[in-house]
Amino acid sequence: MQDMKTLPVDSGLFPLAARKSELAGKHERIRQFLDRQNKDALLLMRHENIAWSTAGIAEMRVAIPNETAVGWLLFTRTGGRYYLTTENEAPRLAAEEFSHLDFQPILRPWYDADWLSDLRKRIDVGAIVGDHAASGLPVVSLQPLRLVLTSGEIERYRWLGKHTAEATAELLMRLRPGMTEADMQAQVAEALFARGILPTVFLMATDQRILKYRHAVPRNGVLEKFGMLNLCARRWGLAVSITRYVHFGKMPEDLRNKFRAAAQVYARLLQATRSGAASDALFHVARAAYVEAGFPGEEQMHHQGGATGYVEREWVARPGGKDIVANSQAFAWNPSVQGAKIEDTVLLLEHATKSGPTPADPIETLTKTPTLPIEETEWAGSVYRTPAVLEV
């Protein structure tokens, strides 16, 4: 029997063989990127780029909050692929992260600070660029390479959205008055970790803290009537965002109206999320929608969301924004009116499917929670189903 310690933890979900073409395609994107930059090699230190370039197979992180890890990746324009790490980290990385990846190791002592000179001695490489200032190299952005998702990434994203949403819905239905915000945070973390998902943003809040703060991180609140689970989570480097609410007893009408207004803005943003739309135009869609919903100026109080992927927000809709929507991208819109927010993670899939032509609505919601209430909002001839507050 094959030693399971040498296999990535997700090999049963998405077999490695199915990722070979994805890996080849991404490495070709990197080669073309180096051609355009007229550079000889690219050094990757950031988690999102390491995950992207290895199809979510390699995890080199030890300290979760850090942007960088215990190893880096080097791609050369001539096709060389290397992982750079310290001698003490090498055995685990070789056995658990790179045993099924065509990368050569370059090792150094943990105390070696002059790694760049040593690297140049080991391989013949000319001009190098990097993705992090800590490298001391000219810094480049790989965001344009990451934004358009492959079919493999889309399948992994669907799994992540489904399981994150299930965990969120299950916990929301277990919330009871008397629970602290710390209890809510702990239970979210437990539910996600049990599914192999890493929580990256915790915005668990209760009652007046929800009504007062748009980014209410857990503090000393105790649930009485109104509770919020607002979180981001990752696996394979991909990030999803979701927000759900519970209210014990009848919800006040003014709060209900705020949720309806946020749902109207959300529907307008989904309808406008089409290839070629600029982030500036999307911001103004939200602005006009708040006016029509009776809450002018709310777009000034918090960002409305935007593209997601290997970062919780790759870009957000903003005045003058030049980012452009493209097919096969993921988005997390989060319009809000103080105390009420609508947030899900979606895919834009403007193409024919195996079963037929392009659907009338090319938006696919990844974080559906069918066991929770739904609000239906009609706009421009389409009905948009958004999450509603669970009233207990």
Domains and CATH numbers, the chain: 4-146 (3.40.350.10), 151-391 (3.90.230.10)
The strands making up 315-316's β-sheet, listed across from edge to edge, are 315-316, 305-308, 329-333, 344-348, 363-365
CB atoms within 10 A of CB 388: 19
SS3 375: strand
Whole-number Å distance between alpha carbons of 328 and 382: 21
Model confidence pTM above 0.95 = no
Question: How confident is the prediction along the chain (392 residues), in pLDDT tens digits per residue?
Answer: 334 445 455 656 787 777 889 999 999 999 999 999 999 999 999 999 999 999 999 999 888 878 888 999 999 999 999 999 999 999 999 999 999 899 999 999 989 888 888 888 888 889 999 999 999 999 999 999 999 999 999 999 999 999 999 999 999 999 999 999 999 999 999 999 999 999 999 999 999 999 999 999 999 999 999 999 999 999 999 999 999 999 999 999 999 999 999 999 999 999 999 999 999 999 999 999 999 999 999 999 999 999 999 999 999 999 999 999 999 999 999 999 999 999 999 999 997 555 444 556 899 999 999 999 999 999 888 899 999 999 99
For residues 115 and 121, give the distance between their C-alpha atoms in angstroms, rounded to a whole number: 10
Using CA atoms, how far apart are residues 84 and 69, in angstroms rounded to an integer?
Answer: 11
HSE of 74 in the Cβ direction (CA atoms, 13 Å)? 28
83 in Cβ contact with 72 (< 8 Å): yes
**Structure tokens, 137:** 């190299």
350, 359 Cβ separation under 8 angstroms: no
Instruction: Check residue 14 and give its pLDDT.
Output: 81
Phi and psi at residue 103, to the nearest 5°: -120, 140
Q: Is 365 within 8 Å of 374 (Cβ atoms)? A: no
φ and ψ at residue 143, rounded to 5 degrees: -55, -45
The CA distances from residue 161 to 189, 285, 380, 384, in Å, are 16, 26, 27, 18
Per DSSP, the three-state class of 185 is helix
Q: Could you give the CA distance from residue 107 to residue 247 in angstroms, rounded to a whole number? A: 55
Q: Which residues touch 373 (CB under 8 Å, ≥6 apart)?
A: 387, 388, 389, 390, 391
The rounded distance, in Å, linking the Cα atoms of 152 and 25 is: 11
CA distance 110 to 91: 14
